Structure 1
Amino acid sequence: MKTILLLTDFSDSATNAIHYAMRFFQSKTCVFHVMNVHKTGSFISDDLMTSPTENIYESFTKVPKQKLKTLVEDLEGSYNNPNHKFEIIVDFDVFTDAVNQAIKRNNIDYVVMGSNGITGAIEVVFGSNAINVIRQVICKTLIVPSDYTFKPISTFLLPLQFDDAIKSEQLKTISNFTTNYKLKLHVLRVCVKNETTNSISSDQEHLNGYNCKYSVEEETSFYQAVTNYLKTNAIDMTGLIVHDKNFIERLFTESPALELSKVIKVPLMIFHTREI
């Protein structure tokens, strides 16, 4: 049984990601924990006066609980999948703290959320909550573009940055994922133009025995290489291996929003190798 954490702020982007998850995990036995996180500071005194008989927690949770119940009822009615069960969670905390607590408490296998946000260059692509989850939450995370419509999935691209060193444990995790969901694995090694790399021979050694398509592309920009590959290959999902905080900071500070937006045209699965 899979345990999936579905994050929602009730936006169209979040709802689209949840519907994607219903289709992606449709053949699996799952418990979906549908979660909404609120900041207590977003409430005003009038919220506490709506019903004098309710305690503070009940006042805070009444509206989001009802919205989650309505959402779950819609999902149950739309998909009618006997292998899917739903639980709802309302929390008041720092967003990533609430997510990490839910992951630990419910033994979550995957987090699912929408991609885009409201303000800022990078936030337009990923959304501030998605960025914070990538930075601070150690769990496989599926980020779905806000306007992406589900289609049958058959291919998965793992692009490796210039200094990425793929390890056996990471490769096993990714191979298990692609095998479990019957996806053809593509591995793209991006090299700096006019420079040789020892990573290629290391890749080939680690990939020996795995059923995958291995390609090398010389580019000055990692994201341009990925964009080029997506143009010439039918890819249904991409993945990134997040090694540490330095990797994440480089990912967001050295990559213009325009380049990131090209990569996030298809769903993105984040894998982590570090510990909290």
Structure 2
Amino acid sequence: MKNILLPTDFSDNSWNAIQYAVELFKDEKCNFFLLNTYTPIIYDVEYMNVGAASFGLIDAMREASEKGVSKLQKKIEKKYVNSDHKFIQISSFNTLTFEIQELSEAKPMDYIVMGTKGATGLDEVLFGSNTVHVIKKAKCPVLAIPSGFSFEAPKEILFPSDYEISFKKKQVKPIVDIALSQTSKVHVLNVSYGYDLSEKQEKNKQKLNTLFNTISHVFHSVPDQNVTEAISEFQQKTRVNLLVMINNKHSFFENLFFKSKIKEIGFHLNVPFLVIPSNTKKD
């Protein structure tokens, strides 16, 4: 069974991400972990040790969290009847990133699916701070769902790559799994700058071609463009349902996606975005 972590702050955005996950994996046996973390707004050691305990604030927050998660599970099971899906409720007095790290050590997750913004998300912020921290720290793929995105099967997957990494089977497995289950086509997009691929890049491209041999895929090369512009232009020509990247040191990922303003990166992210960590062990 797949283990899928669904962080929630009970916002519409997190509900939207949960619905996407339940729909995406509807034909697979899954354990869904519904996670809500809570901490007082004022979060320092002295306050935690004295004030919060004496006024019962932590107990009240725990009770609200537990009730919220229980209500959420009932809401999911009422809308989506699926005997292959099991839900586990977790309410934790912790920050989201620390709780995810601790959970992952106890039970490795196959995916984390979450909304791109929290309950207080602002329109001009591309990813909420929680999403950014989770992506940076996660040991498993993170699937971020934009606000208001209604589920559509990811039939067309866009995978930008500079072919600078030697792809491993485990790195591309999430792409292959989704493509197989959804009968998707994967578009591998490379931006060239007037130079032929190096010997190393060509070798990595051929390795990727081999790893994708069980799925429909096509390689695209676009000349002399900013990568974000290339992605945006490709989306205009082909209805992409899922954007995928491997978060490796050689990628433009951190420079591109950890900016706070949409205008700073030059395009709107309007499709689900799967980020695969590069620190996977070799098969």
Partner residue, 2:219: 214
Cα deviation for residue 145 of structure 1 reads 0.4
What is the alpha-carbon root mean square deviation over aligned residues?
A: 3.0
Partner residue, 1:106: 107
Aligned residues: 268
Trace 1:233-244 onto structure 2 (pairs within 5 A). 233-244=238-249
Equivalent AA in structure 2 for residue 20 of structure 1: Y
User: 1:72 & 1:48 partners in 2: Cα distance?
Assistant: 31
Query: Would you say 1:197 and 2:174 are equivalent positions?
Result: no
Partner residue, 2:20: 20
User: 1:184 & 1:246 partners in 2: Cα distance?
Assistant: 23
Match of 2:262 among 237, 253, 257: 257
User: 2:218 & 2:9 partners in 1: Cα distance?
Assistant: 38
Cα deviation for residue 259 of structure 1 reads 6.7
Equivalent AA in structure 2 for residue 228 of structure 1: E
User: 1:268 & 1:235 partners in 2: Cα distance?
Assistant: 11
User: 1:64 & 1:95 partners in 2: Cα distance?
Assistant: 13
Deviation string 1:217-246 (CA, Å, 9 cap, x unpaired) is 124311110111111112211101011498
Partner residue, 2:84: 83
Structure 1's unaligned 5+ residue stretches are 51-55
User: 1:147 & 1:259 partners in 2: Cα distance?
Assistant: 22
Deviation string 1:129-181 (CA, Å, 9 cap, x unpaired) is 111111111111110001101123322111114x6435243345533442244
- How high is the TM-score relative to the length of structure 1? 0.84
The ranges of structure 1 where at least 4 consecutive aligned residues each deviate by more than 4 angstroms after the TM superposition are: 41-50, 117-121, 245-248, 253-256
Structure 2's unaligned 5+ residue stretches are none
Trace 1:146-225 onto structure 2 (pairs within 5 A). 146-161=147-162, 164-169=164-169, 170-172=171-173, 174-192=175-193, 194-198=194-198, 201-209=202-210, 210=213, 211-225=216-230
Equivalent AA in structure 2 for residue 28 of structure 1: E
Partner residue, 2:60: 59
User: 2:69 & 2:266 partners in 1: Cα distance?
Assistant: 30
Equivalent AA in structure 2 for residue 212 of structure 1: H
Partner residue, 2:116: 115
